[in-house]
Homo-oligomer: A and B are copies of this chain.
């Protein structure tokens, strides 16, 4: 029988992306959709691309009967997310897509997000949701914290290399190019078509982007020592996609071997043949991540480039992959959509 699913925060892009994916899932049924600011509206009005689906109208999250829900996705903004989740039943399985349960240290959370954490009891239960590296914990978890989309992309490059000990931990540079849907459906001047199209720019330069909290936590844990990377995101005029270019000190062959070994059995992470480089267009709308690596002309330096779709593999696809594990479903169910090119 199909699992009964609720989505809180269904009026944003990650909420809509969850619905798009779940619509092709053989064993999930969407029972409730919540978005407090748009409660009462049919989804066809909020996302006309979902018009043909038989979906419940939007309600407030308080109106959902959680007793009938097997798993709840929470796609709210950070801070709101912890407020809501702390009030949900304590036996409800939750996949949270916000930043609220990613950082295990409440001080780190307060530092990066500017507000104290008010649900540290829930935090204590939460498992970090980078599926490929936390499968067994995720399968057993009640609450899974979805990763940042930039943090996911960078970690797909860096985790196997740190684990294999093949790169210099003190000189890791990550230059990211991010499409605009990563910023959500928010009304900001720099997200307007007229401002963004035909232009691109760096932002959060100098190590101020919040996803660095995740990088610090995860990479240091793997390395067994503090690892601080340099990370500069750039906004580019496209709707979907993250391309991460990593500048690393280490031998290209060893780096390539570590990547191939790590991802050989993975259904979604594809290491490209030597010398090929990924394009975000080739993973658009899918749960795949393409990774390419190349030796630099300077001895001992290697460039690794990874591309994924921020809304799918970087967010809602990851969330569904984790939900599949939590519900005992096939991990790839609902996620084998072919990238939509062109």
Contacts and interface: CB of A to CB of B under 8 A. Distances in A.
Nearest to A197: B239
A236 interface: yes
A198 B234 contact: no
Contacts of A240: 198, 342
Given A194-B185, A303-B232, A288 B340 contact: no
B24 A336 contact: yes
B236 A177 contact: yes
Contacts of A292: 202, 205
B48 A199 contact: no
Contacts of A52: 267, 270, 288, 338
Interface in A306-342: 307, 311, 336-342
A37 interface: no
Contacts of A296: 206-207, 230
A202 to B, nearest CB: 5
B340 A173 contact: no
Contacts of A241: 198-200
Contacts of A342: 13, 181, 194-195, 197-198, 239-240, 311
B281 A49 contact: yes
A27 interface: no
A187 B205 CA distance: 25
Given A200-B241, A279-B48, A228 B338 contact: no
A298 B279 CA distance: 30
Given A49-B284, A49-B339, A277 B192 contact: no
A255 to B, nearest CB: 12
Nearest to A21: B338
A71 B232 CA distance: 44
Contact of A173 (B195, B247, B278): B247
A154 to B, nearest CB: 14
A50 to B, nearest CB: 7
Q: Closest 4 interchain pairs by CB?
A: A199-B281, A207-B297, A201-B279, A49-B339
7 contacts: A50-B338, A175-B175, A199-B241, A200-B281, A205-B294, A208-B297, A230-B247
